[in-house]
Copies of this chain bind each other. A is one copy, B any other.
Amino acid sequence: MTHQTQLRDRAAVLDGKDELAAKRQEFVLDDTVYLDGNSLGALPANVEARVADVITREWGKLRIRSWEESGWWTAPERIGDRLAPLLGAAPGQVVVADSTSVNVFKALVAAVRIARGEGGEGEGAERDEIVVDATTFPTDGYIAASAARLTGCRLIPSVPADVPGVLGPRTAAVLLNHADYRSGKLHDLPGLTAAVHAVGALVVWDLCHTAGALPIGLDEHGVDLAVGCTYKYLNGGPGSPAYLYVRKEHQPRFDSPLPGWNSHAEPFGMRADYAPADDAVRGRVGTPDILSLLAFDAALNVWEGVSTAAVRAKSLALTDFFLECVAAYVPEGRVESITPAAHAERGSQIALRCPDAAGVMKRLIERGVVGDYRAPDVLRFGFTPLYVSFADTERAARVLADTLADTLEELPESPPQGA
């Protein structure tokens, strides 16, 4: 119990010094410890009123006029520009539209075409390999396989650390995750981007597990293309539209495999011939999903006055503190962190390997600590610096220890019935 008192006191001190602490008031929270913002961000308090206004006034009263008068038509690029600072991107390079999977497809096929010089000098026509993170969230791998099939490429899965070794003159494009969705390991975006560029290929980064949790620096690090969802650390709501970043210099050669009418230079010209818009707009496809898009727009308000450096500092402090509390409360050998200890290799989640992880997470949730479970044996705890406190963090580790202790005692009392 000495440990517990000390750690609770430490949590109180850390919360007292937390410059982001006031942001918590901008979310709808309750007495559970919500450590699943890396899957679905909590509800920002202003979203409901904004969506009600979109429905009742913009749709209900203005109806069709809202495409122009309420700015619906330009929302994908306008909201992309609002999101851009969180990605380290100057304006004019991001659109918010479609799902992450669909954006991976656009980005990867377009990257292959740019690398091959299609529509240009054609000096890269012999490039026929797409490298994909072998530890990727599955959808990226499935979509990469489809992009490879449709562009006549060979798909080369590689763990990120080995990527430099598989690159070569035949590499067209490389699809990587900024953070591993299971372990929370942060990959070396600047270094891997440079390695891909060294062989004349293009890199597509999937930022699902980092945008909103740490600085990205897309412009600074020369990233070619990037995609990500908006419903995790960006709190856009369930299935809110994803985004696509196309570096300014690549935009003139961004040749989308999904050239819908929204990407046309003159969409209401209703022309039979396709002519792409000049800028990031050519990453759009069909009519934007206004309710979800404007819910995300409202959710972006919580970032006002927030620096990604401050978010990163708190994220690392939270995850450090969680590991410290777990080490103090949970008996040696009951769980094992698979998240790197080094800050440079850590995203904003802690993944603990644990026997019967699914059952343990179920009981944790019953006790008011919400994380999630990934097969076969991983407990995931996401730390969202805008609304998770150090007190939450201490409590999560304590409840985890209690749960594991109870489980030990319970096992002999409740043997499995039947098979």
Contacts and interface: CB of A to CB of B under 8 A. Distances in A.
A58 B40 CA distance: 12
Give 8 nearest A-B pairs by CB, closest first.
A99-B286, A101-B260, A101-B286, A238-B290, A139-B261, A43-B60, A239-B289, A150-B150
A80 interface: no
10 contacts: A36-B64, A40-B67, A52-B52, A98-B102, A102-B258, A138-B264, A142-B261, A229-B287, A269-B375, A291-B295
Nearest to A268: B375
B287 A231 contact: yes
B64 A101 contact: no
Contacts of A151: 150
Contacts of A261: 101, 137-139, 142
A207 interface: no
A301 to B, nearest CB: 15
Given A101-B261, A240-B291, 6 more contacts: A48-B60, A52-B52, A141-B274, A146-B259, A238-B288, A239-B286
A188 to B, nearest CB: 22
Contact of A138 (B241, B270, B374): B270
A257 interface: yes
A36 B63 contact: yes
Nearest to A157: B272
Interface of A: 28, 30, 34, 36, 39-40, 42-43, 47-48, 51-52, 55-56, 58-61, 63-67, 72, 98-102, 105, 109, 134, 137-139, 141-143, 145-146, 150-151, 157, 182, 229, 231, 237-242, 256-262, 264, 268-272, 274, 285-293, 295, 365, 370, 372, 374-375
Nearest to A231: B287
Contact of A100 (B101, B138, B287): B287
Given A64-B36, A134-B272, A139 B286 contact: yes
A111 to B, nearest CB: 15
A186 to B, nearest CB: 20
- Which has the most chain B C-beta neighbours within 10 Å: A64, A141, A374? A64
A153 to B, nearest CB: 12
Given A102-B258, A290-B238, A370 B63 contact: yes
